[in-house]
Amino acid sequence: MLESFFFSDEFFWTLLRAVSIVCITILVTFIFRKLWRKFGKDTIHHKFAKNTISVLMWGAGILFALSRFDTFSSFAAALIAGSGIAALIIGLAAQESFGNAFNGMFISMFKPFEVGDRIHLINADVTGFVEDITIRHTVIRTFTNSRIIIPNSTINRELIENSNYFNPRASNFIDVVITYDSDVAKACEVIAKVIGEHSEFVDTRTDEQVADNAPKVPVFVRALGLYGVELRASMWTATVGVNFRACSDVRRELVAAFLKEGIRIASSKFIDPLIRQ
């Protein structure tokens, strides 16, 4: 009887209807994602919503296709009506998946980070840029252009350092050690000039500080070290993405500027004769 059903016209048309439903689901999902990419925003809320709706569309299409078969309908009815144990097993198996989905929803609602933000997961010691969030996981692109896939339930328990949260501006220290026989005041002047004139530098002074003629780039003597006078200034940029390159430019320019002004960068060879004396 079962064999006669599989080779019957009824089974053929049922299979054809199910395949048609799956094909329509694929087409509708493809069009939906295409339109979303065109008109949607590249934010974590929109990314999560797009991926969630896509999963729901796929799930609904597959269930609708399977429901065309009487055997599946009978099995589903028996499962729903009869066995609480089976429902419990399925619930336990899906617990982690539901946890990731709910945690993804919370991340989307409260937005501890956005797509494109550079974040550091402190416990996992992972640093990178948020690239995508799905109903199950968050994708982080590292500086080596690899992708780290982290379940949403894991990332929601993490301590997150977000370099772009609230204010995207970023700062890094420019530390220089000059010899004791160098002109400290001149070195501070050169550092302030090189940093302040860099095209990526952002002036963080308030209007009151500007009115009070506060220095555009404060340079501090942070320590009188073993090898020389340790100077420090901050290089501020509009975003963290350009900060590393801007700091590199400044350090390279400082080497040339110090040579021109006769300021020596300290090293052990300059201090060893003093120690021997």
The CATH code of the domain that includes 267 is 3.30.70.100
* Residues 114 and 155 both lie in one domain: yes
What does the alpha-carbon distance between residue 233 and residue 218 come to, in Å, rounded to a whole number? 6
Would you state the torsion angle of the CA atoms of residues 165, 126, 235, 173, taken in this order, to the nearest 10 degrees? 130
- Alpha carbon 96 to chain centroid distance? 23
**Residue whose token pair is 């009887």:** 1
Helix and strand totals (H; E) in the chain: 11, 8
Q: Which of 162, 181, 207 is the last residue of a domain?
A: 162
Q: Is the model's pLDDT at 230 over the cut of 80?
A: yes
Identify whether 26 is part of a domain: yes
* Residues 202 and 230 both lie in one domain: yes
* Residues 178 and 157 both lie in one domain: no
* Residues 180 and 263 both lie in one domain: yes
Identify whether 100 is part of a domain: no
* Residues 175 and 251 both lie in one domain: yes
The long-range contacts involving 207-213, CB below 8 angstroms and separated by at least 24 positions, are: none
pLDDT of residue 271: 47
Return the higher-pLDDT residue of 219 and 37.
219
What does the alpha-carbon distance between residue 257 and residue 250 come to, in Å, rounded to a whole number? 10
What does the alpha-carbon distance between residue 164 and residue 174 come to, in Å, rounded to a whole number? 21
**Residue whose token pair is 């339109």:** 35
* Residues 210 and 130 both lie in one domain: no
Which 8-state DSSP code applies to residue 263?
A: P
- Read off the pLDDT of each residue in 60-81 and give the average, rounded to a whole number: 63
Number of domains in the chain: 3
Domain range holding 192? Answer: 170-276
- Listed range (16-30, 106-120, 199-213, 251-265) with the worst mean pLDDT: 16-30
pLDDT of residue 276: 42
* Residues 263 and 195 both lie in one domain: yes
Percent with pLDDT over 70 in the chain: 80
Residue 193 tokens, joined: 């000039």
Average pLDDT of the residues of the chain: 81
* Residues 135 and 197 both lie in one domain: no
* Residues 158 and 232 both lie in one domain: no
pLDDT of residue 84: 54
* Residues 51 and 117 both lie in one domain: no
What does the alpha-carbon distance between residue 151 and residue 158 come to, in Å, rounded to a whole number? 11
* Residues 253 and 175 both lie in one domain: yes
pTM above 0.75, yes or no: no
Q: Which of 162, 180, 197 is the last residue of a domain?
A: 162
Identify whether 197 is part of a domain: yes
